[in-house]
Amino acid sequence: MSDIAGFGDKLDKLEERISDMNNAVTAVQGGFTALKQDISANATRLNEAEDRIESAEESVQSMISELTAATKRIAYLETKTEDLENRGRRKNLRLVGLAEGTEGTQSMLSYIQHKMPLWLGLDPADTPFTIERAHHTLGRPKPGQNRAVLIRFLRFQDREVVFLKAKQRTITHEGHTIFFAQDFSAETMKKRSQFNAVKKQFVEAGSFRRFQLQPCKKRIFHNGKIVTFSSPEEAENFLHK
């Protein structure tokens, strides 16, 4: 009887262990279920995040396209504005090198009208041009420097007569060399100044011809042909190849 009772105790303990194992398995299964639910939820969130990222990328690409188009439009408008400004200056010349206060008590217009024929070697009684106005450029001059005098002619042809005559001679006034230069917008002058170093080399080689106004390009005469450069780098590469 004692053996049977002992066997019964063992059986009870075994059943308890099996029950504990079942409980453990159930707990593990519950954990797996919760884990699967978490994974499923994370997958859903990941898909939603991917959708948002894709939507954001499309929005960014759209904005990039719009920005590119706007940049091109701005560049076009800047070019047109620069061109219009330069066209508005076609009848202007800048007189460079004239000392400050040279005109004395006269107006600058009267002074230039009187001196211009003498500088160009023309008969004052037969002056082939009419000046509308003449004045110093704006801004205070730096120490030791003189402001240019801006001269506006009535007609473009008047301006051309003066400019071509001035290019044919060296003009001095009160011991100083003065010269006439074309009047361009600040942006055009900035672009041209970038060519200064390479322009000097072409001038020394006798190849420099002139600038093309719009767009601002440099032209040279090389081996019987006209060559045009859009940038100083392009001109440098041509010069040293």
Domain ranges for the chain:
1-85, 90-183, 185-241
Is 80 exceeded by the pLDDT of residue 236?
no
Phi then psi for residue 112, to 5 deg, are -65, -40
Question: 228: which DSSP letter?
Answer: E
Alpha-carbon span 98 to 173, nearest angstrom: 8
Average pLDDT of the segment spanning 122-143? 83
pTM for this structure? 0.67
Average pLDDT of the segment spanning 58-67? 93
Please name which of 8, 31, 11 lies closest in space to residue 19, comparing C-alpha atoms.
11
Q: Select the more confidently predicted residue: 48 or 166.
A: 166
Alpha-carbon span 115 to 97, nearest angstrom: 14
User: What confidence category does residue 129 fall into, taking pLDDT thresholds of 50, 70 and 90?
Assistant: confident
110 Cβ contact partners less than 8 Å away, ≥ 6 residues apart? 103
Locate 110 and state its tokens: 């009267």
Is 70 exceeded by the pLDDT of residue 219?
no
| Mean per-residue pLDDT of the chain | 83
User: What confidence category does residue 133 fall into, taking pLDDT thresholds of 50, 70 and 90?
Assistant: very high
pLDDT digits (tens, 9 = 90+) for 179-188: 999 999 888 8
Q: Select the more confidently predicted residue: 161 or 14.
A: 161
Whether CATH 1.10.3470 fits 185-241: no
Helix, coil or strand: residue 121 = coil
Average pLDDT of the segment spanning 201-215? 63
Alpha-carbon span 122 to 171, nearest angstrom: 13
Whether CATH 3.40.50.300 fits 90-183: no
Alpha-carbon span 205 to 89, nearest angstrom: 31
